Amino acid sequence: MMEGARCPFRGIMTRIGPLSSEEFNTLLVEHMQPLYNLALWLCKDSHQASDLAQETLLKALRARESFQGGTNLKAWLFTILRNCFINILKRRGKEESFDFEVENAGEVESGPGTAYGELPPFLMRSDIDRALEKLPGGWRFLILMVDLEGLSLAEAAAVLGVPVGTVKSRLFRARMILSRQLRDYRVSGRGDGP
Amino acid sequence: MDCKDVQERIEELVHGFVPAAEEEALRAHLLACKLCAQRYQWVEKLALEIAGKATNHALPEELRRSIEKDLMRTASRRSWLRPAVWVPAAALAVVILALTVLFGRPERRSIQVNQVIQAVVRDYQGQWFNSRLGDPHLVGADLQRWLDKAMDLEKKLPFQGNDEFVLLGARKVEVSGRQGALLVYRREEAVIGFFILPAKGINFPVQPDGRRRVLAEQTGYVSLTWPWDSYVCSLVSTQKNREQVVALWERMRSRPPSG
Protein backbone atom coordinates (compact mmCIF):
# COMPACT_ATOMS: atom_id res chain seq x y z
CA MET A 1 0.00 0.00 0.00
CA MET A 2 1.25 3.45 -0.81
CA GLU A 3 2.18 5.49 2.17
CA GLY A 4 -0.26 8.27 2.76
CA ALA A 5 -2.73 6.90 0.24
CA ARG A 6 -6.31 7.35 1.24
CA CYS A 7 -9.61 6.00 0.17
CA PRO A 8 -10.90 8.51 -2.39
CA PHE A 9 -14.37 8.24 -0.89
CA ARG A 10 -13.03 9.71 2.31
CA GLY A 11 -11.05 12.56 0.86
CA ILE A 12 -12.70 15.93 1.01
CA MET A 13 -9.89 17.77 -0.68
CA THR A 14 -10.22 19.78 -3.82
CA ARG A 15 -6.69 19.66 -5.02
CA ILE A 16 -5.90 21.33 -8.25
CA GLY A 17 -2.92 20.78 -10.45
CA PRO A 18 -1.57 23.19 -13.07
CA LEU A 19 -4.52 24.95 -14.64
CA SER A 20 -5.16 26.85 -17.80
CA SER A 21 -6.81 30.27 -17.51
CA GLU A 22 -10.10 28.82 -18.69
CA GLU A 23 -9.95 25.99 -16.15
CA PHE A 24 -9.06 28.45 -13.44
CA ASN A 25 -12.01 30.69 -14.34
CA THR A 26 -14.37 27.73 -14.51
CA LEU A 27 -13.25 26.61 -11.08
CA LEU A 28 -13.67 30.12 -9.72
CA VAL A 29 -17.27 30.12 -10.88
CA GLU A 30 -17.80 26.73 -9.28
CA HIS A 31 -16.36 27.98 -6.02
CA MET A 32 -18.50 31.08 -5.91
CA GLN A 33 -21.32 29.21 -4.21
CA PRO A 34 -19.28 28.18 -1.13
CA LEU A 35 -17.59 31.60 -1.14
CA TYR A 36 -20.89 33.42 -1.10
CA ASN A 37 -22.30 31.05 1.48
CA LEU A 38 -19.42 31.67 3.89
CA ALA A 39 -19.49 35.38 3.10
CA LEU A 40 -23.14 35.56 4.09
CA TRP A 41 -22.50 33.56 7.24
CA LEU A 42 -19.83 36.12 8.11
CA CYS A 43 -21.62 39.33 7.11
CA LYS A 44 -25.20 38.29 7.91
CA ASP A 45 -26.28 40.66 5.15
CA SER A 46 -26.79 39.62 1.54
CA HIS A 47 -25.56 42.87 -0.03
CA GLN A 48 -22.39 42.91 2.03
CA ALA A 49 -21.90 39.22 1.31
CA SER A 50 -22.20 39.84 -2.44
CA ASP A 51 -19.63 42.63 -2.22
CA LEU A 52 -17.31 40.46 -0.16
CA ALA A 53 -17.61 37.50 -2.53
CA GLN A 54 -16.99 39.72 -5.54
CA GLU A 55 -14.00 41.42 -3.94
CA THR A 56 -12.60 37.97 -3.15
CA LEU A 57 -13.04 36.89 -6.75
CA LEU A 58 -11.34 39.98 -8.15
CA LYS A 59 -8.42 39.55 -5.78
CA ALA A 60 -8.19 35.88 -6.75
CA LEU A 61 -8.09 36.82 -10.42
CA ARG A 62 -5.36 39.35 -9.80
CA ALA A 63 -3.40 36.90 -7.68
CA ARG A 64 -3.88 33.98 -10.03
CA GLU A 65 -0.13 33.66 -10.61
CA SER A 66 0.46 33.22 -6.89
CA PHE A 67 -1.85 30.23 -6.73
CA GLN A 68 0.27 27.12 -6.57
CA GLY A 69 -0.86 24.05 -8.46
CA GLY A 70 -1.33 21.04 -6.22
CA THR A 71 -2.77 23.12 -3.41
CA ASN A 72 -6.39 23.43 -2.45
CA LEU A 73 -8.12 26.13 -4.47
CA LYS A 74 -11.03 26.35 -2.07
CA ALA A 75 -8.71 26.90 0.89
CA TRP A 76 -6.82 29.52 -1.11
CA LEU A 77 -10.05 31.35 -1.88
CA PHE A 78 -11.18 31.14 1.74
CA THR A 79 -7.88 32.71 2.79
CA ILE A 80 -8.55 35.64 0.46
CA LEU A 81 -12.14 35.85 1.69
CA ARG A 82 -10.99 35.96 5.30
CA ASN A 83 -8.41 38.66 4.59
CA CYS A 84 -10.97 40.75 2.69
CA PHE A 85 -13.42 40.42 5.57
CA ILE A 86 -10.82 41.47 8.13
CA ASN A 87 -9.99 44.50 5.96
CA ILE A 88 -13.67 45.44 5.83
CA LEU A 89 -13.86 45.25 9.62
CA LYS A 90 -10.77 47.41 9.90
CA ARG A 91 -12.14 49.97 7.44
CA ARG A 92 -15.31 50.23 9.47
CA GLY A 93 -13.22 50.70 12.56
CA LYS A 94 -15.52 48.38 14.38
CA GLU A 95 -14.72 46.95 17.72
CA GLU A 96 -16.07 43.69 16.38
CA SER A 97 -13.29 41.17 16.33
CA PHE A 98 -12.58 38.21 14.10
CA ASP A 99 -10.23 36.54 16.47
CA PHE A 100 -10.99 33.77 18.83
CA GLU A 101 -10.81 35.53 22.15
CA VAL A 102 -14.36 35.01 23.25
CA GLU A 103 -15.82 35.78 26.56
CA ASN A 104 -16.05 32.83 28.91
CA ALA A 105 -13.94 30.67 26.61
CA GLY A 106 -12.08 29.60 29.70
CA GLU A 107 -15.17 27.86 30.95
CA VAL A 108 -14.97 25.30 28.23
CA GLU A 109 -13.47 22.18 29.65
CA SER A 110 -11.25 19.94 27.67
CA GLY A 111 -9.53 16.64 28.25
CA PRO A 112 -10.23 12.95 28.27
CA GLY A 113 -12.63 13.16 31.17
CA THR A 114 -14.82 15.94 29.81
CA ALA A 115 -18.54 15.27 29.86
CA TYR A 116 -20.20 16.30 26.61
CA GLY A 117 -23.78 15.66 27.46
CA GLU A 118 -26.32 14.29 25.05
CA LEU A 119 -27.43 16.33 22.11
CA PRO A 120 -31.14 16.41 21.36
CA PRO A 121 -31.96 13.44 19.11
CA PHE A 122 -33.67 15.60 16.53
CA LEU A 123 -32.44 19.04 15.57
CA MET A 124 -34.11 21.33 13.12
CA ARG A 125 -32.32 23.45 10.54
CA SER A 126 -33.36 26.57 12.45
CA ASP A 127 -31.77 25.21 15.65
CA ILE A 128 -28.46 24.68 13.89
CA ASP A 129 -28.58 28.07 12.16
CA ARG A 130 -29.48 29.89 15.37
CA ALA A 131 -26.67 28.21 17.29
CA LEU A 132 -24.16 28.98 14.53
CA GLU A 133 -25.25 32.59 14.37
CA LYS A 134 -24.52 32.97 18.05
CA LEU A 135 -20.95 31.79 17.64
CA PRO A 136 -18.32 34.52 17.27
CA GLY A 137 -17.52 35.09 13.58
CA GLY A 138 -14.10 33.45 13.57
CA TRP A 139 -15.36 30.30 15.27
CA ARG A 140 -18.34 30.11 12.91
CA PHE A 141 -16.01 30.53 9.93
CA LEU A 142 -13.79 27.70 11.17
CA ILE A 143 -16.55 25.22 11.92
CA LEU A 144 -18.28 25.88 8.58
CA MET A 145 -15.01 25.51 6.68
CA VAL A 146 -14.45 22.11 8.24
CA ASP A 147 -17.95 20.66 8.59
CA LEU A 148 -19.77 22.24 5.68
CA GLU A 149 -17.07 22.92 3.14
CA GLY A 150 -14.96 19.88 3.85
CA LEU A 151 -11.56 21.43 4.43
CA SER A 152 -9.07 19.29 6.27
CA LEU A 153 -7.75 20.58 9.57
CA ALA A 154 -4.41 21.33 7.93
CA GLU A 155 -6.12 23.34 5.20
CA ALA A 156 -8.24 25.22 7.74
CA ALA A 157 -5.08 25.92 9.72
CA ALA A 158 -3.43 27.33 6.61
CA VAL A 159 -6.43 29.58 5.95
CA LEU A 160 -6.29 30.94 9.48
CA GLY A 161 -2.50 31.00 9.65
CA VAL A 162 -2.35 28.98 12.86
CA PRO A 163 -0.99 25.53 13.76
CA VAL A 164 -3.22 22.46 13.34
CA GLY A 165 -3.24 21.97 17.12
CA THR A 166 -4.79 25.41 17.54
CA VAL A 167 -7.47 24.56 15.00
CA LYS A 168 -8.26 21.39 16.94
CA SER A 169 -8.64 23.18 20.23
CA ARG A 170 -10.72 25.96 18.65
CA LEU A 171 -12.96 23.42 16.98
CA PHE A 172 -13.43 21.64 20.26
CA ARG A 173 -14.36 24.86 22.03
CA ALA A 174 -16.70 25.91 19.24
CA ARG A 175 -18.41 22.53 19.41
CA MET A 176 -18.79 22.79 23.17
CA ILE A 177 -20.49 26.16 22.81
CA LEU A 178 -22.72 24.93 20.02
CA SER A 179 -23.58 21.84 21.95
CA ARG A 180 -24.52 23.85 25.01
CA GLN A 181 -26.73 26.15 22.97
CA LEU A 182 -28.46 23.29 21.24
CA ARG A 183 -29.20 21.64 24.58
CA ASP A 184 -30.52 24.94 25.93
CA TYR A 185 -32.92 25.29 23.00
CA ARG A 186 -34.20 21.87 23.81
CA VAL A 187 -34.79 22.76 27.44
CA SER A 188 -36.19 26.26 27.05
CA GLY A 189 -37.30 26.60 23.46
CA ARG A 190 -39.45 24.31 21.44
CA GLY A 191 -40.40 22.10 24.34
CA ASP A 192 -40.74 18.35 24.45
CA GLY A 193 -44.41 17.96 23.90
CA PRO A 194 -47.03 19.02 21.39
CA MET B 1 -2.31 4.60 22.08
CA ASP B 2 -4.02 6.22 25.05
CA CYS B 3 -7.19 8.32 25.37
CA LYS B 4 -5.30 11.58 24.89
CA ASP B 5 -3.79 10.36 21.61
CA VAL B 6 -7.15 9.17 20.37
CA GLN B 7 -9.03 12.32 21.31
CA GLU B 8 -6.36 14.37 19.54
CA ARG B 9 -7.27 12.55 16.34
CA ILE B 10 -11.05 12.45 16.63
CA GLU B 11 -11.75 15.43 14.37
CA GLU B 12 -9.61 13.94 11.62
CA LEU B 13 -11.20 10.54 12.11
CA VAL B 14 -14.73 11.93 11.88
CA HIS B 15 -13.87 13.85 8.72
CA GLY B 16 -12.06 10.96 7.11
CA PHE B 17 -8.55 12.32 7.13
CA VAL B 18 -6.80 9.50 8.96
CA PRO B 19 -4.67 7.03 6.96
CA ALA B 20 -6.17 3.54 6.87
CA ALA B 21 -3.46 1.95 9.00
CA GLU B 22 -3.92 4.45 11.79
CA GLU B 23 -7.69 4.43 11.51
CA GLU B 24 -7.79 0.76 12.42
CA ALA B 25 -5.95 1.37 15.69
CA LEU B 26 -8.15 4.37 16.53
CA ARG B 27 -11.35 2.46 15.90
CA ALA B 28 -10.10 -0.44 18.00
CA HIS B 29 -9.57 1.97 20.88
CA LEU B 30 -13.05 3.45 20.38
CA LEU B 31 -14.57 -0.01 20.65
CA ALA B 32 -12.84 -0.56 23.96
CA CYS B 33 -13.14 2.89 25.53
CA LYS B 34 -16.57 4.24 26.36
CA LEU B 35 -15.34 7.76 27.10
CA CYS B 36 -13.55 8.19 23.79
CA ALA B 37 -16.45 6.59 21.93
CA GLN B 38 -18.77 9.09 23.55
CA ARG B 39 -16.60 11.98 22.40
CA TYR B 40 -16.33 10.54 18.90
CA GLN B 41 -20.12 10.23 18.64
CA TRP B 42 -20.58 13.73 19.96
CA VAL B 43 -18.20 15.25 17.40
CA GLU B 44 -19.62 13.10 14.62
CA LYS B 45 -23.21 14.05 15.39
CA LEU B 46 -22.43 17.76 15.54
CA ALA B 47 -20.38 17.62 12.34
CA LEU B 48 -23.09 15.74 10.47
CA GLU B 49 -25.84 18.02 11.77
CA ILE B 50 -23.91 21.06 10.57
CA ALA B 51 -23.00 19.48 7.24
CA GLY B 52 -26.58 18.42 6.62
CA LYS B 53 -28.63 21.21 8.14
CA ALA B 54 -26.69 24.48 8.30
CA THR B 55 -28.20 26.76 5.69
CA ASN B 56 -26.27 26.78 2.47
CA HIS B 57 -27.13 30.20 1.11
CA ALA B 58 -27.77 30.11 -2.61
CA LEU B 59 -25.66 32.31 -4.84
CA PRO B 60 -27.94 35.12 -6.12
CA GLU B 61 -28.48 34.96 -9.85
CA GLU B 62 -27.51 38.61 -10.21
CA LEU B 63 -24.17 37.97 -8.53
CA ARG B 64 -23.54 34.91 -10.67
CA ARG B 65 -24.14 36.94 -13.84
CA SER B 66 -21.90 39.73 -12.63
CA ILE B 67 -19.11 37.25 -11.85
CA GLU B 68 -19.39 35.58 -15.21
CA LYS B 69 -19.19 39.00 -16.85
CA ASP B 70 -16.02 39.77 -14.87
CA LEU B 71 -14.49 36.49 -15.93
CA MET B 72 -15.41 36.94 -19.58
CA ARG B 73 -13.86 40.37 -19.52
CA THR B 74 -10.62 38.90 -18.19
CA ALA B 75 -10.69 36.09 -20.71
CA SER B 76 -11.26 38.43 -23.65
CA ARG B 77 -8.05 40.25 -22.82
CA ARG B 78 -6.12 37.16 -23.82
CA SER B 79 -5.24 36.75 -27.42
CA TRP B 80 -5.66 33.32 -28.88
CA LEU B 81 -3.30 34.26 -31.66
CA ARG B 82 -0.28 34.25 -29.39
CA PRO B 83 2.15 31.48 -30.41
CA ALA B 84 2.43 30.50 -26.74
CA VAL B 85 -1.17 29.32 -27.01
CA TRP B 86 -1.61 27.91 -30.46
CA VAL B 87 1.72 26.13 -30.87
CA PRO B 88 1.13 23.75 -27.93
CA ALA B 89 -2.51 23.40 -29.00
CA ALA B 90 -1.50 22.38 -32.48
CA ALA B 91 1.10 19.99 -31.07
CA LEU B 92 -1.53 18.47 -28.81
CA ALA B 93 -3.92 18.03 -31.70
CA VAL B 94 -1.23 16.13 -33.61
CA VAL B 95 -0.53 13.92 -30.61
CA ILE B 96 -4.22 13.20 -30.10
CA LEU B 97 -4.61 12.34 -33.77
CA ALA B 98 -1.64 10.00 -33.58
CA LEU B 99 -2.99 8.33 -30.46
CA THR B 100 -6.39 7.92 -32.04
CA VAL B 101 -4.85 6.20 -35.02
CA LEU B 102 -2.70 4.00 -32.82
CA PHE B 103 -5.13 3.10 -30.09
CA GLY B 104 -8.51 3.88 -31.52
CA ARG B 105 -9.07 0.77 -33.60
CA PRO B 106 -11.99 -1.33 -32.41
CA GLU B 107 -10.12 -4.65 -32.58
CA ARG B 108 -7.37 -3.30 -30.37
CA ARG B 109 -9.95 -2.15 -27.83
CA SER B 110 -11.74 -5.47 -27.71
CA ILE B 111 -8.54 -7.39 -27.13
CA GLN B 112 -7.65 -5.22 -24.19
CA VAL B 113 -11.01 -4.95 -22.49
CA ASN B 114 -10.65 -7.73 -19.95
CA GLN B 115 -6.98 -7.05 -19.34
CA VAL B 116 -7.68 -3.40 -18.76
CA ILE B 117 -10.50 -4.07 -16.29
CA GLN B 118 -8.36 -6.57 -14.45
CA ALA B 119 -5.45 -4.16 -14.32
CA VAL B 120 -7.57 -1.28 -13.06
CA VAL B 121 -9.10 -3.36 -10.33
CA ARG B 122 -5.79 -4.92 -9.36
CA ASP B 123 -4.27 -1.49 -9.23
CA TYR B 124 -6.91 0.10 -7.05
CA GLN B 125 -7.32 -2.93 -4.87
CA GLY B 126 -4.92 -2.80 -1.98
CA GLN B 127 -4.35 0.88 -2.49
CA TRP B 128 -7.52 2.12 -0.93
CA PHE B 129 -10.07 -0.60 -0.80
CA ASN B 130 -10.67 -3.80 0.90
CA SER B 131 -12.44 -4.78 -2.26
CA ARG B 132 -13.63 -8.01 -3.79
CA LEU B 133 -14.56 -8.61 -7.36
CA GLY B 134 -17.87 -9.97 -8.44
CA ASP B 135 -18.96 -11.24 -11.82
CA PRO B 136 -17.73 -9.38 -14.89
CA HIS B 137 -19.97 -7.73 -17.39
CA LEU B 138 -18.92 -6.63 -20.81
CA VAL B 139 -21.08 -3.72 -21.68
CA GLY B 140 -24.07 -3.89 -23.93
CA ALA B 141 -27.65 -2.87 -24.19
CA ASP B 142 -28.49 -4.64 -20.97
CA LEU B 143 -25.99 -2.67 -18.86
CA GLN B 144 -28.64 -0.82 -16.91
CA ARG B 145 -30.46 -4.09 -16.16
CA TRP B 146 -27.20 -5.69 -15.05
CA LEU B 147 -26.51 -2.74 -12.76
CA ASP B 148 -30.00 -2.89 -11.29
CA LYS B 149 -29.40 -6.55 -10.52
CA ALA B 150 -25.80 -6.19 -9.41
CA MET B 151 -26.36 -3.46 -6.87
CA ASP B 152 -30.05 -2.61 -6.78
CA LEU B 153 -29.27 0.59 -8.63
CA GLU B 154 -32.53 2.45 -8.81
CA LYS B 155 -31.08 5.30 -10.85
CA LYS B 156 -30.35 5.61 -14.51
CA LEU B 157 -26.64 5.69 -15.26
CA PRO B 158 -25.46 9.26 -15.77
CA PHE B 159 -23.49 8.36 -18.88
CA GLN B 160 -23.06 5.09 -20.73
CA GLY B 161 -20.20 6.12 -22.95
CA ASN B 162 -19.85 7.20 -26.56
CA ASP B 163 -17.21 7.25 -29.25
CA GLU B 164 -15.15 9.68 -27.23
CA PHE B 165 -15.39 7.97 -23.88
CA VAL B 166 -15.58 4.29 -24.60
CA LEU B 167 -17.18 2.19 -21.90
CA LEU B 168 -15.04 -0.92 -21.82
CA GLY B 169 -16.80 -3.04 -19.27
CA ALA B 170 -18.17 -3.35 -15.79
CA ARG B 171 -17.56 -5.38 -12.67
CA LYS B 172 -19.48 -5.97 -9.53
CA VAL B 173 -17.35 -4.88 -6.59
CA GLU B 174 -17.62 -5.15 -2.88
CA VAL B 175 -15.91 -2.24 -1.17
CA SER B 176 -15.69 -2.42 2.61
CA GLY B 177 -18.79 -4.59 2.71
CA ARG B 178 -20.84 -2.46 0.31
CA GLN B 179 -22.07 -3.86 -2.96
CA GLY B 180 -21.21 -1.57 -5.79
CA ALA B 181 -20.18 -1.46 -9.38
CA LEU B 182 -17.02 -0.49 -11.20
CA LEU B 183 -17.29 0.67 -14.78
CA VAL B 184 -14.19 1.25 -16.84
CA TYR B 185 -14.03 3.96 -19.46
CA ARG B 186 -11.29 4.82 -21.88
CA ARG B 187 -10.59 8.03 -23.70
CA GLU B 188 -7.60 7.89 -25.99
CA GLU B 189 -4.95 6.17 -23.89
CA ALA B 190 -6.45 7.18 -20.55
CA VAL B 191 -8.22 4.46 -18.59
CA ILE B 192 -10.65 5.68 -15.96
CA GLY B 193 -12.46 3.67 -13.32
CA PHE B 194 -15.96 4.75 -12.31
CA PHE B 195 -17.17 3.46 -8.98
CA ILE B 196 -20.77 3.62 -7.79
CA LEU B 197 -21.36 2.73 -4.16
CA PRO B 198 -24.29 3.18 -1.78
CA ALA B 199 -23.54 6.31 0.24
CA LYS B 200 -24.95 4.95 3.46
CA GLY B 201 -22.16 4.43 5.94
CA ILE B 202 -19.50 6.10 3.82
CA ASN B 203 -17.66 8.42 6.08
CA PHE B 204 -18.03 11.74 4.42
CA PRO B 205 -20.81 14.24 4.66
CA VAL B 206 -22.72 13.88 1.44
CA GLN B 207 -24.52 17.06 0.63
CA PRO B 208 -28.16 16.53 -0.26
CA ASP B 209 -27.97 19.05 -3.06
CA GLY B 210 -25.15 17.14 -4.69
CA ARG B 211 -22.95 20.18 -4.99
CA ARG B 212 -19.86 18.78 -3.33
CA ARG B 213 -17.29 17.31 -5.57
CA VAL B 214 -13.94 16.11 -4.58
CA LEU B 215 -10.83 16.03 -6.64
CA ALA B 216 -8.27 14.29 -4.57
CA GLU B 217 -4.79 13.55 -5.70
CA GLN B 218 -2.89 10.86 -3.92
CA THR B 219 0.54 9.69 -4.84
CA GLY B 220 0.15 8.58 -8.41
CA TYR B 221 -3.65 8.72 -8.50
CA VAL B 222 -6.37 11.25 -8.98
CA SER B 223 -9.94 10.73 -7.95
CA LEU B 224 -13.03 12.82 -8.31
CA THR B 225 -15.87 11.95 -6.00
CA TRP B 226 -19.38 13.32 -5.71
CA PRO B 227 -22.69 12.33 -4.19
CA TRP B 228 -25.51 11.12 -6.40
CA ASP B 229 -28.70 10.81 -4.41
CA SER B 230 -28.16 7.84 -2.13
CA TYR B 231 -24.96 6.82 -3.92
CA VAL B 232 -21.40 8.00 -4.05
CA CYS B 233 -19.69 8.12 -7.42
CA SER B 234 -15.97 8.28 -7.93
CA LEU B 235 -13.80 8.51 -11.00
CA VAL B 236 -10.30 7.23 -10.46
CA SER B 237 -7.26 7.23 -12.69
CA THR B 238 -3.58 7.98 -12.66
CA GLN B 239 -2.55 11.59 -12.13
CA LYS B 240 -1.41 12.07 -15.69
CA ASN B 241 -5.03 11.50 -16.75
CA ARG B 242 -6.37 14.22 -14.50
CA GLU B 243 -7.82 16.28 -17.33
CA GLN B 244 -9.52 13.24 -18.83
CA VAL B 245 -11.09 12.48 -15.45
CA VAL B 246 -12.44 16.01 -15.20
CA ALA B 247 -13.71 15.82 -18.78
CA LEU B 248 -15.55 12.57 -18.07
CA TRP B 249 -17.01 14.03 -14.91
CA GLU B 250 -18.21 17.05 -16.90
CA ARG B 251 -19.79 14.71 -19.40
CA MET B 252 -21.57 12.83 -16.65
CA ARG B 253 -22.74 16.06 -15.08
CA SER B 254 -23.94 17.58 -18.33
CA ARG B 255 -26.35 14.72 -18.79
CA PRO B 256 -28.00 14.35 -15.43
CA PRO B 257 -29.87 11.16 -14.76
CA SER B 258 -33.57 11.44 -15.19
CA GLY B 259 -34.53 8.49 -13.01
Q: Do residues A32 and B64 make contact, with C-beta atoms less than 8 angstroms apart?
A: yes
pLDDT of A69 reads 63
Among the residue ranges A66-80, A136-150, B6-20, B196-210, the one predicted with the least confidence is B196-210
pLDDT of B103 reads 41
CA distances from residue A82 to A63, A113, A155, A165, B112 in whole angstroms, order as listed = 15, 35, 14, 20, 51
B237 has which bridge partners?
Answer: B222
Assess whether pLDDT exceeds 60 at residue B124: no
Q: Which residue type occupies B83?
A: P
Q: Do B219 and A2 touch (CB under 8 A)?
A: yes
pLDDT of B213 reads 54
Q: Do B46 and A54 touch (CB under 8 A)?
A: no
| Higher pLDDT pick, B203 / B8 | B8
Q: Please report the ipTM that was assigned to this predicted complex.
A: 0.81
Instruction: Give the closest of B15, B62, B234 to A12, CB-based.
Output: B15
Q: Which chain B residue lies closest to A9 (C-alpha atoms)?
A: B225
Q: Do residues B90 and A63 make contact, with C-beta atoms less than 8 angstroms apart?
A: no
Q: Give the residue among A44, A51, A28 at the shortest CA–CA distance from A137.
A: A44
The residue-averaged pLDDT of B188-199 equals 81
Task: Number of A to B CB contacts under 8 A, please give it.
Answer: 199
Among the residue ranges A185-194, B62-71, B146-155, the one predicted with the least confidence is A185-194
Q: Which chain B residue lies closest to A122 (C-alpha atoms)?
A: B49
The per-residue pLDDT for range B132-168, each reduced to its tens digit, is: 555 556 666 677 888 887 777 777 887 888 888 888 7
* Secondary structure class of B122 (helix, strand, coil): helix
- Interface residue A169 vs chain B (CB under 8 A): no
